[in-house]
Structure 1
Amino acid sequence: MIGRIDVHQHMVPAAYAAWLRDHGITAPGGRELPEWSPALALELMDRQGIATAILSLSTPGVHLGDDREAATAAREFNEYGAELVKDHPERFGLFATLTLPDVDGAVAAAAYALDDLSADGVVLLANSRGVYLGDPAFDPLMAELDRRGAVVFVHPAELPGPAAPGIPPFAADFLLDTTRAAYNLVRHDVPRRFPGIRFILAHAGGFVPYAAHRLAIALFAETGRDLDLILAGLAGFYFDTALSSSPAALPSLSSFPPPGHVVYGSDWPFAPELAVSYFNEPIAADEAIGRNARVLFRRLEGVSS
């Protein structure tokens, strides 16, 4: 069985779930908060051939409107994740959560998580209270992450607008949200200006591989930049397979980015194990997808071999 490195697995500590419920959040993204524990995660990983999971908080993260509360919550849950990694260094990693749109708080949280907690990277929402990644207001954080050569996992949030009746955000809006973030990052030339950052886009980048040339033409019309460079910017992200390794999606996902840029993701526990198994089946024999993330996390190089 393949020992996969899972870059898209979430933790839902009991204290975090209780904190969200205290704020009236019971179904972020349209999914009820799932049952989770480290033991349940390890059992799932053993059944699904996952050697190591890089854990992250999912949407809505920790910024619910108050900068100070967000900073306190980020520290608490990042420290929880770091302790979990310390207890199981080969089985878990950590994408630390930050406090965007509070940029100063996010810079401080990133420094603490990466320097003191030895986090494997950070998770950023595609939009933070309506401000998309790539916005120049976030450049101080990008500079800090670039200086550290950080891995940034980009996870969708709910769109900055009302959901369509009968369509849960996770089903379609999440894909658009990630696509918007990728577009805005390339529009503002963030990957070129901050080349030390390695970005992973959740859910195969939303619509990016499938619609890349359409997106690139729009960016060319606006910016006048070289079309091939725009396409290279869009293709330069890493793309995880969470809920996206279907026979319909795999041809675009496999052919668009450079070799080695498709990495494994499960999206458990928000994706139930039945869904994890369903999307694992088309890539069951593809050992490279399971191991590609080793180049992003050098400490795990020998884990999935």
Structure 2
Amino acid sequence: MSARRRIDVHQHVVPPCWAEALPAHGGDPSGWSSPDWSPDSALAFMDSLQIETGVLSLTAPGVHGWHGQAKREMARRVNEYEADLVAKRPTRFGHFATLPLPDVDGALAEIGHAFDTLHADGVVLLSNYDGVYLGDAAFERVWAELDRRHAVVFIHPAKPPIDALAGMPGPLLDYPFDTTRTAVQLVLNGVITRYPNVRIILSHAGGFLPYAAYRFAELAPGVREDVPNREGLIDLFRTFYFDTALSSPSALPSLTAFAHPDRLLYGSDFPYAPRSVSRSFTAAQDGHLALSAEQHAAINRGNALPLFPRLAALAQ
């Protein structure tokens, strides 16, 4: 393969069954359009950027527009489509399973199927479901099951429960905000402490969490009596993993100054970020002179291998 052999933890799949049905189920409320995608186009893109493996996930809005049993069935169809791609090309693709949240019972059933039958590499969660964020007590049973399974959880932003500004669709402006919102709630509401076996990846360098973490950590103990002190909160914020999708070059200095070095992961955001955009951000990351060759190698591949034992075993 390539010298860098990147593992891309932020790469999306566009299953035909989902894309064809999405317009009849509310479309994408963020205002973004679904791009053309195929397995072959994904592989061509990956080869152009020395990506050995793309860990695929369904982007927002996920299965938000479906309801009841139809929501569960579409999540299952998406997950089985992804699993089939992995079975055909196990070194080139991985997959994060979609859950039919906020249907907790359906989500628990899908976690079992995804891990026990489809051998998923993890799950993808959206930052909020109908305005309910991931640190809410409504999702406690889901976190407990993911913790029991030592799961990898990829959190992707969704449209926040506010109106988008005219001419500024959610992925352009609001998504980093929503990632930050759910991450801080997960910490302050104690989810991270109660379920330490879950490994959580935040999209797009964690929104602005690395940039503003000390603000959150200094202010939170003054308004809540149920949270750790400043140092304890900083430690908890640093337990997250962070992907680099759309996060170079200005975000990288804050990210690398804040995050643990072994918790930085490569991401492209293909195909929702056009090829030219993914290439531009990747080139900026590769040219980030503050990182050593060893650090670049860790971000591109080394840090991901402990999260994905299936890929680590294939690499031996």
Q: TM-score, normalized by length of structure 1?
A: 0.96
Tell me if 1:231 matches 2:234.
yes
Tell me if 1:109 matches 2:110.
yes
- Misfit runs of 4+, over 4 Å: 302-305
Q: Give the corresponding residue for 2:245.
A: 242
CA deviation after TM superposition for structure 1 residue 192, in Å: 1.2
Write the distance in 1 (CA, Å) between the matches of 2:183 and 2:278. 25
Structure 2 residue identity aligned to 1:241: T
Structure 1 residue identity aligned to 2:264: V
Q: Deviations over 1:146-198 (max 9, x none)?
A: 00000000000001121111222111200000000101100111111001100
Structure 1 residue identity aligned to 2:305: R
Write the distance in 1 (CA, Å) between the matches of 2:261 and 2:159. 31
Give the 3-state SS of the residue equivalent to 1:158 in structure 2. Answer: coil
Tell me if 1:296 matches 2:307.
yes
Structure 2 residue identity aligned to 1:109: E
Q: Give the corresponding residue for 1:264.
A: 266
Write the distance in 1 (CA, Å) between the matches of 2:187 and 2:165. 28
- Give the 3 Å change call, closer, same or farther, for CA 38–28 of structure 1 in structure 2: farther
Q: TM-score, normalized by length of structure 2?
A: 0.93
Q: Give the corresponding residue for 1:139.
A: 140
Structure 1 residue identity aligned to 2:307: L
User: Unaligned regions of 5+ residues in structure 2, if any?
Assistant: 287-292
User: Unaligned regions of 5+ residues in structure 1, if any?
Assistant: none
Choose which of 279, 292, 308 in structure 2 pairs with 1:277: 279
Write the distance in 2 (CA, Å) between the matches of 1:301 and 1:17. 32
Q: Does the aligned pair in 2 maintain the 1:5–1:304 contact within 8 Å?
A: no
Give the 3-state SS of the residue equivalent to 1:117 in structure 2. Answer: coil
Q: Give the corresponding residue for 1:164.
A: 165
Write the distance in 2 (CA, Å) between the matches of 1:277 and 1:135. 37
Q: Deviations over 1:37-93 (max 9, x none)?
A: 111101100011101010000000113251211101011110110011000000000
Q: Deviations over 1:103-153 (max 9, x none)?
A: 111111111101111000000000011000110110000000000000000
CA deviation after TM superposition for structure 1 residue 236, in Å: 0.9
Q: Give the corresponding residue for 2:290.
A: none
Over the aligned positions, Cα root-mean-square deviation in angstroms equals: 1.4
Report the more deviating stretch, 127-136 or 222-231. Answer: 222-231
Q: Does the aligned pair in 1 maintain the 2:217–2:230 contact within 8 Å?
A: yes
CA deviation after TM superposition for structure 1 residue 304, in Å: 7.0
After TM superposition, list the pairs within 5 Å mapping 1:32-181 onto structure 2: 32-64=33-65, 66-181=67-182
Q: Give the corresponding residue for 1:254.
A: 256
Report the more deviating stretch, 211-220 or 68-77. Answer: 211-220
Write the distance in 1 (CA, Å) between the matches of 2:276 and 2:193. 39
- Give the 3 Å change call, closer, same or farther, for CA 34–170 of structure 1 in structure 2: same
Write the distance in 2 (CA, Å) between the matches of 1:154 and 1:118. 19
Write the distance in 2 (CA, Å) between the matches of 1:219 and 1:69. 40
Structure 2 residue identity aligned to 1:293: A
- Give the 3 Å change call, closer, same or farther, for CA 170–304 of structure 1 in structure 2: farther
- Give the 3 Å change call, closer, same or farther, for CA 301–190 of structure 1 in structure 2: same
Write the distance in 2 (CA, Å) between the matches of 1:65 and 1:86. 27
Count residues with an aligned counterpart: 303
